[in-house]
Amino acid sequence: MTLPLTINQLKFLIPYSSLKDREKFIEPLNLTMGIYKINTPLRVAAFIAQVTHESGSLHYVQEIADGSAYEWRRDLGNLEEEALVVAHANGTTTGRFFRGAGLIQVTGYYNYKKCSEGLGIDFVTAPNKLTEPLYAALSAGWYWDTHQLNKLADVRKFRDISVRINGGTNGLKDRLANYERCLKVLGI
């Protein structure tokens, strides 16, 4: 398997995605996978499986929940002065302002800030940029890379990848089903 993926391959990898979403994300995904060396069948299978779960088959680039559950999350940085100032200046609260966005759902002020620094784009004051296809994909690649998930993908530590992305095993059954399908489609 070589990159770039075709839109037809993406259809089999993410069968519940719409043609519109596949067309919107095929180029950003290929660019992202190239930049972050997600370029072997094992890496692509793990990455696409996680993206499939996190985005609801490329349908959601922002968390469905309103983010209020993150209001008092000190571990996410949502109580930092800059986070409070930016959110309040936009007429909302930090949990809502820095709710999950992108294809791997970057969540919380600290993660938005780190992603901004990593990609050289200001997501802290303009979080909706993470919902644009290019930045949604690049932020997923950035997260994948900064958490060294290629190493885990290379040795098939898919459960560990899920924990690093989600902080637990939420949705593990669906993630594993996606992974098994991607492995099969990619001939592994």
pLDDT for 44-67, tens place per residue? 999 999 999 999 999 999 999 999
Beta-bridge partner residues of 101: 62, 106
Judge if pTM exceeds 0.85.
yes
Q: Is the per-residue pLDDT at 2 higher than 80? A: no
Which of 112, 131, 150 is a domain's end point?
A: 131
pLDDT of residue 3: 82
Same domain, 104 and 142: no
CATH of the domain at 102: 3.30.20
Q: Is the per-residue pLDDT at 1 higher than 90? A: no
Task: Give 49-84 as a DSSP string.
Answer: HHHHHHHTTTT-SB-SS-SGGGTT-GGGTTTSHHHH
Closest CA to 137 of 101, 175, 185: 101
Query: Both tokens of residue 42?
Result: 């094992």
Domain hosting residue 113, numbered range: 68-131
Residue 165 lies in a domain: yes
pLDDT of residue 66: 95
Same domain, 85 and 126: yes
Instruction: Give yes or no for a contact between 66 and 99, defined as CB atoms under 8 angstroms apart.
Output: yes
Quote the number of domains for the chain: 2
Which of 92, 109, 131 is a domain's end point?
A: 131
The C-alpha atoms of residue 69 and residue 72 are separated, in whole angstroms, by 8
The C-alpha atoms of residue 165 and residue 143 are separated, in whole angstroms, by 8
The C-alpha atoms of residue 125 and residue 164 are separated, in whole angstroms, by 26
Residue 39 lies in a domain: yes
The C-alpha atoms of residue 121 and residue 137 are separated, in whole angstroms, by 14
Residue 2 lies in a domain: no
Same domain, 152 and 103: no
Question: Going by C-beta distance under 8 Å and a sequence separation of 6 or more, which residues neighbour residue 2?
Answer: none
Identify the band that residue 182 occupies on the pLDDT scale cut at 50, 70 and 90: very high
Residue 1 lies in a domain: no
Same domain, 149 and 175: yes
Residue 81 lies in a domain: yes
Closest CA to 29 of 178, 121, 116, 138: 138
Same domain, 50 and 13: yes
Residue 104 lies in a domain: yes
The C-alpha atoms of residue 30 and residue 33 are separated, in whole angstroms, by 5
pLDDT tens digit string along 121-175?
A: 999 999 999 999 999 999 999 999 999 999 999 999 999 999 999 989 999 999 9
pLDDT tens digit string along 18-51?
A: 999 999 999 999 999 999 999 999 999 999 999 9
Query: Both tokens of residue 81?
Result: 């002065």
Closest CA to 33 of 110, 108, 116, 103: 103
Peptide bond into 4 cis (omega under 30): yes
pLDDT tens digit string along 84-123?
A: 999 999 999 999 999 999 999 999 999 999 999 999 999 9
Same domain, 121 and 72: yes
